[in-house]
Chain A
Amino acid sequence: MEMAPIQDSRSADRTTILEMRGISQIFPGVKALDGVNISLHPGEVTALIGENGAGKSTLVKILTGIYVPSEGEILIDGQPVSFSSAQDAVDAGVTAIHQETVLFDELSVAENIFLGHAPRTRFGLIDWKVMNARAAELLHALESEIDPTIRLKDLSIAQRHLVAIARALSVEARIVIMDEPTAALSRKEIDDLFRIVEGLKKQGKAILFISHKFDEVYEIAENFAVFRDGRAVGHGRLSETPQDTIVRMMVGRDVSNIFPKVEVAIGKTVLSVENYCHPTEYRDISFDLKRGEILGVYGLVGAGRSEICQSLFGVTRPSSGQLVLEGETISIRSPRDAIAAGIVYVPEERGRHGLALPMPIFQNMSLPSLARTSRSGFLKAANELALARKYAERLDLRAAALSVPVGTLSGGNQQKVVIGKWLATLPKVIILDEPTKGIDIGSKAAVHGFISELAAEGLSIIMVSSELPEILGVSDRVLVMREGLSAGIFDRSQLSAETLVRAATGNA
């Protein structure tokens, strides 16, 4: 196993609260975590760094008792523990503040904090007096004077966040996991949060801090651990490690060998997006797309990548901006308009956005093309089947019959149905959102080969991806987005992992 050259010189004389040894998490077809080691120390913050899909969330789910790891052991104070439920993790002193806090709008602040473990009176009823008093104490400790009796829906986002933190601290916890806690916060709110974190450190709690943002990591954390493709590829003290080293650990691999890029003759401009704006998700996005070109769109989660693609496809509407397709200015108000214009979108969440699972394969495939397969208003099953057969063969779809429900297929084959469905509309521009998410390495190469093939046939492709090697290996050009803005468009000659990560994280 490759490890970073940094030696953790002080680990020997520090106490360790929690240690994870050789943790692996295997999902069908995917190894989400592969023999990961990590340890947490009292009074210290350990930053967990990695690209999307590196295995950070899986680790959090194991620590909070949601997943049971396939291999490996967890030690708390040197004693092996096993969590078979979220409650087990709480009992062992692990608590988590999640990225998207799960709270209840219609309940009071105190109820939210103590939901599931409310103090009881001796008759077994909820002791409101004690609950409200303890909620006020917890909030006071967080330097907040929110009234515990008001309803959550009357609070601001930042105040809700405080409630979520108070909830996490309402149980006796020695290990606090913070999963991208700053994602929705302003700079001032982040400063407040960091004061709270400093307070927790003084109380001797061990904190696992997950963040994409290097400035925050260096500000608050003592230790770091870098994950890549489900492996722990480096750890150490931040004070001894320059940022460059960490960036290299995050991306470090020989990219060009993984996905051989097929050279395709690039033609004229097909699609121009001019100054696209959206009230909340993105601003001032412009780019051109040429025939046979693959434009990669890179950025962190929440950078507005999927949102702009959904606007191009008519799911949401931009507030301003122009779209020019083959020289004509067009306006797309619905997916129907987009499909008619020749722009299609293969969504990230295949199950939720892509397929009607109870319907047969061929009916799913023909759904956007029904106008073409029907004759005088009546469906022609023969035409639909012919269409489905054509793309099933082309994509090597494995199914007992084209009339079986899509829900009976494996994930990979479902993905093929989604892609076939969109190719069948004979598009000019195809937008692929995370085309290889949840697919094992072997199949990824096949998908990439297929994308290149489509480009060679003259399709123009926009590929949104969070995976650097994929972006670097497949794209002709890359649009990097950060916080809803364009952080630059890079030509193939300028492409390097470091450039893209810097642009995406906002580190010059």
Chain B
Amino acid sequence: MKKLMKHRELLLVGIIAIMVAGFATRAPGFATPGNLANIFNDTSILIILALGQMTVILTKSIDLSVAANLAFTGMAVAMMDAAYPGMPLALLVILAIGIGAALGAINGMLVWWLRIPPIVVTLGTLTIYRGMAFVLSGGAWVNSHQMTPGFLNFPRLAVLGMPLLSWMAIAIVLMMWVVLTRTQFGRATYASGGNPTAAVYAGIDIGRTRFFAFTLSGALAGLAGYLWVSRYAVAYVDVAAGFELDTVAACVIGGISIAGGIGTVAGAVLGALFLGVIKNALPVIGISSFAQMAISGIVIVAAVVFNARAERKAGRIILRDRGAKEVSA
């Protein structure tokens, strides 16, 4: 499977390269390093969210509340910045991560203690968190002139030729790679999704593992909340509406099994980049945003079909194979 995964990730890299080259023939300048760096910067928030989503999906769960969490947290820190311009930025960032983690922990507790299916829990909290963003703001916008320059400029600061936003995404990618491949928690996420019963028998507390996965996903969503409102210099209730589906799509395209237990950090990152390239390229070559949605949808379905086939080949189902053979014989 590892070989197949590597193969698969190379395949994704190849597809993305071909796409970039193809778009470059229609839109000169598309493949320049500067534009590619822009695309990466544009995709940074999606990458961060997709890695949180991936951790949750690995445990056989799903977090549909990430975008709502992002909207609430973004609104909260933007309002704080507007109300108390003297607050240090570091504190605001830590608050964003903390609020996000708290919202994620609520999902996690509902899943762990009340044993409600994750899709139901996060479908509920998706609406609740958005609603909270509305209650908090009274439906009002926080515009760029209300926020402090430090708050707004931080993600744009160029370090070694790249904006800090990109560097943060790279740092999170590295951190998540360490967490998922080098810690017991990471191994527990794979085991909980790969075979929940076997994980329990091996002494792993699945509920706790899921709780931490949701909390981590929430923390990353909180961080993304700050990054989003400062990057786009505006906070309103409907920020990032529907973005949770993009995070799931990035995971699916990147080969993370929706049934849990299978997937790599590289896959999730490439899945996000794949979507990022399409989103950036289609307007450039003059395709409408509705067609974009349809194209994204087709790509997701194709990725699911591809995944399902790859997994079937890998997991041997001895009995079924034999049954089929005998019946045809």
Residue in chain B with minimal CB distance to A366: B187
Task: Give 1 or 0 for each of A301-339: 1 = CB within 8 Å of chain B CB.
Answer: 000000000000101000000000000000000111011
Contact-residue bracket for chain B: 35 or more
A80 to chain B, nearest CB (A): 17
Docked CA distance A338–B203 (Å)? 8
Partner of B201, one of A335, A359, A403: A335
In this assembly, does A411 line the interface, its C-beta being within 8 Å of a C-beta of chain B?
A: yes
> Given A315-B200, A403-B2, A421-B202: A28 and B322 within 8 A (CB)?
yes
Instruction: Kindly name the residue among B2, B183, B202 whose own CB sees the greatest number of chain A CB atoms within 10 A.
Output: B202
User: Which stretch (A151-159, A247-255, A370-378, A443-451) binds chain B?
Assistant: A370-378
Closest beta carbon of chain A to B308's beta carbon, Å? 14
In the complex, A407 has a CB within 8 A of chain B: yes
On chain A, the residues within 8 Å of B1 by CB distance are 358, 360, 404-405, 407-408
User: Cα distance A359–B315 when bound, in Å?
Assistant: 11
- Contact status B203-A368, CB under 8 Å: yes
Chain A contacts for B187, CB-based, 8 A: 363, 367, 370, 379
Instruction: Give the residues in chain B near A345, CB-CB below 8 Å.
Output: 201
A364 surroundings in chain B (CB, below 8 A): 198
Are B205 and A334 neighbours in the complex by a CB distance under 8 Å?
yes
**A27 in contact (CB, < 8 A):** yes
Secondary structure call for the B interface: helix
CB < 8 Å neighbour of B322 from A27, A84, A338, A353: A27
- Asked whether any CB of chain A lies closer than 8 Å to the CB of B32, the reply is no
Which residues of chain B from 165 to 204 have a CB within 8 Å of any chain A CB?
178, 181-184, 186-187, 190-191, 194-195, 197-204
Q: Are A28 and B318 in contact (CB under 8 A)?
A: yes
B-chain residues with CB within 8 Å of residue A407 when the two chains form the complex: 1, 314-316
User: Which residue of B2, B181, B203 is within 8 Å of A339 (Cβ)?
Assistant: B203
A107 within 8 A of B: no
Range for the number of chain A residues in contact with chain B: 35 or more
Give the most central of B184, B195, B316: most A CB within 10 Å.
B195
Q: Is B234 an interface residue (CB 8 A)?
A: no
- Shortest CB–CB separation between residue A381 and chain B, in angstroms? 8
- For B268, the chain A residues whose CB sits under 8 A away are none
Report Cα–Cα, A160/B311, bound state, in Å: 39
For B194, B200, B205, B327, which residue has the most chain A Cβ atoms within 10 angstroms?
Answer: B194
Q: Is A187 an interface residue (CB 8 A)?
A: no
Does B203 lie within 8 Å of A335, measured CB to CB? yes
For B183, the chain A residues whose CB sits under 8 A away are: 377-379
Bound complex: CA of A339 vs CA of B204, how far in Å? 11
Residue of B nearest to A371 (CB): B184
Mask, B199-213, CB within 8 Å of A = 1, is 111111100000000
| B197 near A353: Cβ-Cβ < 8 Å | yes
The answer to whether B326 touches A356, judged by C-beta atoms less than 8 angstroms apart, is no
Verify if B235 is at the interface (C-beta below 8 Å from A). no
Contact indicator B200/A359 (Cβ below 8 Å): no
B201 touching A358, Cβ below 8 Å? no
- B262: CB under 8 A from chain A? yes
In the assembled complex, which residues on chain A have CB atoms less than 8 Å from the CB atom of B178? 378
Interface 1/0 per residue, A390-422 and B, CB below 8 Å = 000000000000011101100100000000010
Interface assignment of A68: CB less than 8 Å from any CB of chain B: yes
Chain B contacts for A336, CB-based, 8 A? 203-205
CB pair B314–A405 under 8 Å, yes or no, is yes
Is there an interface contact between B315 and A367, defined as CB atoms closer than 8 Å? no
B155 within 8 A of A: no
Q: Which residue of B lies closest to A69 (CB)?
A: B326
Contacts of B186 in A (CB 8 A): 379
Q: Which of A105-123 contact B (CB under 8 A)?
A: none
**Cα A355 to Cα B200 with chains together (Å):** 11
- Chain B residues with CB under 8 A of A368: 202-203
A345 to B203, CA, bound (A): 11
A404-B1, A405-B314, A407-B314 as given contacts; A356 in contact with B205, CB under 8 Å: no
Partner of B2, one of A70, A360, A371, A421: A360
Q: How near does chain A come to B207, taking the closest CB pair, in angstroms?
A: 11
- What B residues does A313 contact at CB under 8 A? 201
Instruction: State the CA gap A106–B204 with chains docked (Å).
Output: 35
Q: Does B261 lie at the interface of the complex (its beta carbon under 8 Å from any beta carbon of A)?
A: yes
The verdict on A357 contacting chain B, using a C-beta distance below 8 Å, is: yes
Considering only residues 72-117 of chain B, those with a C-beta below 8 Å from chain A are none
A431 to chain B, nearest CB (A): 11
Q: Give the docked Cα–Cα distance between A411 and B322 (Å).
A: 14
Indicate which residue in B195, B199, B200, B203 contacts A357 across the interface (CB closer than 8 Å): B195
Instruction: Identify which of A85, A339, A367 contacts B191 (C-beta below 8 A).
Output: A367
**Min CB gap B309→A, angstroms:** 15
A355-B195, A363-B187 as given contacts; A315 in contact with B201, CB under 8 Å: yes
Q: Mark B204-225, 1 if CB is under 8 A from A, else 0.
A: 1100000000000000000000
Residue from B190, B257, B322 in contact with A359 in the complex, judged by beta carbons closer than 8 Å: B190
Q: How far is the CB of A219 from chain B (nearest CB, A)?
A: 36
Q: CB within 8 Å of A: which of B294-329?
A: 311, 314-316, 318, 322-323, 326-327, 329
A377 to B188, CA, bound (A): 13
Distance between Cα atoms of A67 and B322 in the complex (Å)? 10
Residues of B within 8 A of A469 (CB): none
**Least CB separation from B257: chain A residue:** A358
Q: How far is the CA of A270 from the CA of B178 in the complex (A)?
A: 41
A354 at the interface (CB under 8 A from B): yes
A377 and B184 form a contact (CB under 8 A): yes
Task: Using known A-B contacts A334-B205, A378-B182, A405-B314, determine if residue A70 contacts B322 with beta carbons closer than 8 Å.
Answer: no
User: Does the CB pair A68–B327 fall under 8 Å?
Assistant: yes
Given contacts A67-B326, A359-B191, A367-B191, 7 further A-B contacts (CB under 8 A): A85-B327, A338-B203, A356-B261, A359-B194, A374-B184, A378-B183, A407-B315
The 7 A-B pairs at the shortest CB distance, nearest first, are namely A356-B194, A336-B203, A356-B195, A405-B1, A367-B202, A368-B202, A339-B203
Point out residues on A near B: beta carbons under 8 Å. 27-28, 67-68, 70, 84-85, 313, 315, 334-336, 338-340, 345, 347, 352-360, 363-364, 367-368, 370-371, 374, 377-379, 403-405, 407-408, 411, 421
Residues of B within 8 A of A (CB): 1-2, 178, 181-184, 186-187, 190-191, 194-195, 197-205, 257, 261-262, 311, 314-316, 318, 322-323, 326-327, 329
